[in-house]
Amino acid sequence: MLEEWTSQAKQDIAKLIAITFGMHIAKKFKDLFNKNAYTHKHPKYRTFIL
Is the entire prediction scored with pTM above 0.85? no
List Cβ neighbours of 47 (8 Å cut-off, separation of 6 or more): 39
List Cβ neighbours of 11 (8 Å cut-off, separation of 6 or more): none
Tens-place pLDDT, residues 36-50: 766 666 556 555 544
CA distance 7 to 3: 6
Q: How many CB atoms lie within 10 A of CB 39?
A: 14
CA distance 34 to 43: 14
pLDDT of residue 50: 43
